[in-house]
A and B are shown apart, each in its own frame.
Chain A
Amino acid sequence: MITDVVLALAQALVGAAGAPLLAGVLRTLKARLMGRRGPSPWQPYADLRKLLRKEAVVSTTTSWVFRVTPYVLVATMLVAIVVVPVVASRTALPFAGIILLMYLFLLGTFFLALAGLDSGSAFGGMGSSREVAVAALAEPTVILAVFALALRADTTTLGGIVERFAREPLLAANPGHLLAFAAFFIVMLAETGRLPVDNPATHLELTMIHEAMVLEYSGRYLALVEWAAAMKLFVFLTLLANLFFPWGVPDIVEPVPVLLGLLALAGKLAVLTVALAGLETIIAKLRLFRVPELLAGSFALALLSVTAVFLVP
């Protein structure tokens, strides 16, 4: 019991405190690849500190939904971090599976879409409609890709999958595993609002998805929304790292193995971040009407990976 509470707090601390650094490193790497010196990796912390000290301007046409949404986003992301195996394959909520995680994400998305509509601004509503369309297309792929792993590991809990694959690495030596990874990687790009689905650095309202919904937020509300977005990126990259490559994830919760698990996670996240920055440098944003094709492609990959469980022993 005590172990679970400590583990949950440790995971929340690592995720909540480390997520802005992850976003900052990604921004710095992308700037370097563009030939710019770029912001320091610690820049998101300075931004959040500044936003927390600023006044919040809230439109008089908004309702309680607008003010409650940033807290819902942060709360769902903190729970998501506790649910995902971050530093050990055991989590404080051992029964938690991909379905709980997916609906935590969707709860946040739902509220953010409502908040985008709430202020009555034209761009907010446009962003909401796009976000919901992308979420509806990405959701089945996330679940299906993880189901491919769950079928192989004989359990739907995230901790169970990580533990099984960590114990029997040969289970991962299967074409289905790679297909599931590719499918999950593509939906990760869509869910976290990265290129080629959404451009996190855009200033053009017409191309925005996630940004369009948060245009009306300011001060501490904006700080919470940006913090939650960074945590979502952290959760998805951690899932990619630990679920598909569970090497170095300890199955016992003791200080030394957990610290080693943390180091392994940092290494895997570093590799994924460099790959993401490189990818975002060489690809352009997809035209909005072609995004469903990309997501349908990732769904097909996920479906194939589930099929492969039965075809390839």
Chain B
Amino acid sequence: MLRQLHVALRTGIVTEPAPRDADVERLGVRLGDELRRVFGRSLAIRHVDAGSCNACELEIAALTGPHYDLERFGLHIVASPRHADCLLVTGPVTRNMAEALLRTWEATPHPKLVIAVGDCARDGGIFRGSYAIVGGVGDVVPVDAVVPGCPPSPVAILAGILDVIGRLY
């Protein structure tokens, strides 16, 4: 156990520098000043899998690790939509998950954001037109921003969230 502490102390901080403005694609969606003041320093994220293949989940999971570390921006992932300010929705919305997604959205207190992550969440992606899906996330709940990619890289997701809350300058 002490060896673990020793390793932790010797390794130091491995978090990479924050994504810079020039490196990432801007989503072009900005919150109003009031919301930016509220969410700029603290944003609780609830991830909703609406029928994803789990590729986007892997990229989101990487955000919580030491390399991308979303906590340093005051973002954190929470376990309940009641605690959340932002829903991070992945995958095309399958018929079985449409109701669940809508209820999650209703359970989230105002003011709230919805960010659709990945091409499937944008418009159904490769599943577009399938009888098994309702469509993109925007067909079920109002979407504030879309992070494109299949799957989008962790940096792109991080930059997308930071762009929406106005932390990317």
B-binding residues in A (CB < 8 A): 31-40, 43, 46-47, 49-50, 53-57, 202-205, 208, 211, 215-219, 222, 278, 281-283
Contact = CB atoms under 8 A, between A and B. Distances in A.
Nearest to A201: B76
Contacts of A54: 38, 85, 109-111
B80 A215 contact: yes
Interface string B103-120: 000011111000000000
Contacts of A50: 38-39, 41-42, 85
A203 B78 contact: yes
Interface in B56-115: 65-66, 69, 71-72, 74, 76-80, 82-83, 85, 107-111
Describe B's contact surface by its main secondary structure.
loop
B83 A222 contact: yes
Contacts of B2: 282
A219 B65 CA distance: 28
Given A34-B66, A57-B109, 18 more contacts: A31-B72, A32-B13, A33-B8, A35-B15, A36-B13, A36-B65, A36-B71, A39-B71, A40-B74, A43-B41, A47-B42, A49-B41, A49-B42, A50-B85, A215-B80, A218-B83, A282-B2, A282-B5
22 contacts: A35-B8, A36-B13, A36-B14, A36-B15, A36-B65, A36-B69, A37-B15, A37-B72, A38-B71, A39-B71, A39-B74, A43-B74, A46-B41, A53-B38, A56-B109, A57-B82, A203-B79, A208-B79, A222-B82, A281-B4, A281-B8, A282-B2
A34 B14 CA distance: 9
7 smallest CB-CB distances across A and B, nearest first, come from A46-B41, A218-B82, A46-B42, A35-B66, A37-B15, A37-B72, A215-B80
Contacts of A278: 5
B1 interface: yes
A203 B38 CA distance: 23
A165 B143 CA distance: 62
A273 B82 CA distance: 30
Contacts of B85: 50, 54
Most buried by A among B5, B66, B80: B80
A32 B39 CA distance: 24
Contacts of A281: 4-5, 8
A40 B40 CA distance: 14
B130 interface: no
A56 B39 CA distance: 16
A218 B109 contact: yes
Contacts of B15: 35-37
Given A35-B13, A46-B42, A218-B83, A282 B4 contact: yes
Contacts of B72: 31, 36-39
B82 A215 contact: yes
B9 interface: yes
Contacts of B44: 47
Contacts of B41: 43, 46, 49-50
Given A50-B85, A203-B79, A216-B82, A55 B66 contact: no
A53 B39 CA distance: 10
Given A31-B69, A50-B41, A56-B109, A215 B79 contact: yes
B19 to A, nearest CB: 14
Contacts of B38: 50, 53-54
A216 B81 CA distance: 9
Contact of A34 (B8, B39, B82, B83): B8
Nearest to B15: A37
A57 B108 contact: yes
Contacts of B111: 54-55
Given A43-B42, A216-B80, A222-B83, A35 B74 contact: no
Nearest to A32: B13
Nearest to B82: A218
B64 to A, nearest CB: 9
A122 B39 CA distance: 30
Contacts of A218: 82-83, 109
